Structure 1
């Protein structure tokens, strides 16, 4: 399912599995006390960018404002809430980078900082334990 009011860009040779949801906009939360059936919903818009040669497995949810780098792989059932770097294998809810599949870093993983983020300049780290 594609919800593209905020803009969705999909590169070439992208493989998208069944039941994948990609949204570039979402409704703002409104407290029940302020609900009025005659007032239209307000939305937040943010583009989703999926670069070339990406694999997105079945059941994945991609939220607004996310960029998935080229040659990345997203595991089935993942919820992508943050940017995924190129050549990364990411999975989970929320999706986390598990390792890099880059051609120049065969066998190594992305370095992960103490906050669980990735360091794109340090590809020789051991990754999360």
Structure 2
């Protein structure tokens, strides 16, 4: 959907409120956005520094940072989040090192999910108009990773994508559209390469 500039400029809501609603907003405007990302990234660095010395304290900070965290969630630092409260992680999920979520779109990761190293979850899309793009217009779309999925190392998931339950995404894949349950996808863009036995 293209940006209606007149409507967007007339919108009196804060940039944060527009972001959360999934509407066009300017990520370079609104001090609340910069404050939130700066605070979140600072906390990510603190958790990383603390992890080797006091893992329990690092895990407690991690739980406070995220929107929701299930039981038995495990992670390996470093990791990088823009808005920690927009990330929700289900029971027994594992996040490997160098995990990154970008933008303020809501991200829901189910239970028993395996996230490989250097996985990137991107929720923002910038305006296509080359004259408007430098003004910082973007909108975010949610990402959902359903129960039991496995994302291999260096996978990129694009805005608005749902990865179905128990599906596997091959290392280095770029996922640009929804993945059904119980399949293996791979490539750039990721495509179904085989089906898995149904649960």
Structure 1-normalised TM-score? 0.71
Between Structure 1 and Structure 2, the one with more helix by share is: 2
C-alpha displacement of 1:4? 4.5
Deviations 1:83-126 (A, max 9, x none): 0000010000000011110237xxxxxxxxxxxxxxxxxxxxxx
Q: Highest CA radius of gyration, 1 or 2?
A: 2
Instruction: Write the distance in 1 (CA, Å) between the matches of 2:125 and 2:117.
Output: 21
The residue matched to 1:90 in structure 2 has which SS? strand
Q: Which residue of 2 aligns with 1:79?
A: 174
| Counterpart secondary structure, 2:189 | coil
Q: TM-score, normalised by structure 2?
A: 0.47
Could you list the structure 1 runs, at least 4 aligned residues long, displaced by more than 6 angstroms after superposition. none
Partner residue in 2 for 1:110: none
In the TM superposition, residue 19 of structure 1 has moved relative to its aligned partner by 0.8
Q: Is contact 2:150-2:166 (8 Å) kept?
A: yes
Question: Equivalent residue for 1:18?
Answer: 117
The partner residue of 1:42 within 137, 141, 144 is 137
The answer to whether structure 1 residue 98 and structure 2 residue 193 are counterparts is yes
Q: Which runs of 5+ in 2 are unaligned?
A: 1-99
Which gives a bigger RCO, structure 1 or 2 (Cα 8 Å, sep 6+)? 1
In structure 2, the residue matched to 1:28 is 127
Q: CA deviation at 1:35?
A: 6.1
Three-state SS of the structure 1 residue aligned to 2:125 is strand
User: 5+ unaligned residues in a row in structure 1: which ranges?
Assistant: 105-129
Q: Distance in 1 between matches of 2:121 and 2:110?
A: 14
